Amino acid sequence: QAFFCLLLCVPWGSSCPPSCQCTERAGAKAVLCSSRHLEEIPKDIPKDAVFLKLDANSITKIPSNAFRHLSHLEELDLSRNAIEKIDRAAFKGVAAGLRTLDLSSNRIRSIPKEALLALNAKLRLANNPWHCECALQEVLWEARLDPDSVQDITCHTAPREEYVGKPLLQVLDAGVNFCSVRQRTTDVAMFITMFGWFTMVIVYVICYVRHNQEDTCKHVEYLKSLPSTQGHAE
């Protein structure tokens, strides 16, 4: 009876994942799941968690709505994992209250800007194999990045070899604009597409005119081959 009473008295939202440790920090719940060989984000994290440490694991992906039920979450540490993919809605539900988000030392090459620009949190993105592109540039200019780690956001790959290995901030300070490069590429592609359609229309018109001319000539020749009305009258 005491056992069943205990089950009824303990709220389900305050249960702790078996692979984690739950403690109190100044009255706020902290869930510590560091170095637990986790390959995905635990499903049963307490809803009242304020601090969540998932660092030094083997997590490879942050799916949509991964933390949606954690409305009290303020600090999230996902550093030193193997994260390669982050969905657009990965941080949906916690964007407003999150104060710090650590994604450093992962395997992130690119990230949907929508996943980060909606956040008010201070971001740590250092030590990832970034592909320097427009989306990353927009994150750098518009998101709240940790100033102590921004210099460690380095171009692992880039549209031009001369940018590889350099801090993204240094490349941008030199006047490079990855977004304008993408815009020019888009403009060229659009121009080629429009030129192709225009060429097809011209060819169609020429073929149509020639076809009508041939039909007209055949019709004229046919009329000439007919016996005249005057010949019949004689």
* Interval 64-120: pLDDT, tens: 999 999 999 999 999 999 999 999 999 999 988 999 999 999 999 999 999 998 899
Label residue 182 by pLDDT band (50, 70, 90). Answer: very low
Give the list of residues 6+ apart from residue 178 with CB closer than 8 angstroms, or none.
Answer: 132, 133, 134, 136, 137, 159
Residue 71, helix vs strand vs coil: coil
* Interval 208-218: pLDDT, tens: 667 677 666 66
Residue 29, helix vs strand vs coil: strand
Q: What does residue 219 show for φ and ψ, rounded to 5 degrees?
A: -65, -40
CA triple 95-101-107, angle to 5 deg: 115
231 pLDDT higher than 70: no
Among residues of the chain, what percentage have pLDDT more than 70? 73
Tally of CA atoms within 13 A in the half-sphere of 45 that contains its CB: 25
Which of 16-25, 130-139, 143-152, 190-199 has the weakest average pLDDT?
Answer: 190-199
Q: Which residue has the higher pLDDT, 25 or 214?
A: 25
CB contact at 8 A, 158 and 181 = no
Q: What is the DSSP letter of 162?
A: G
Closest CA to 62 of 19, 92, 27, 28: 92
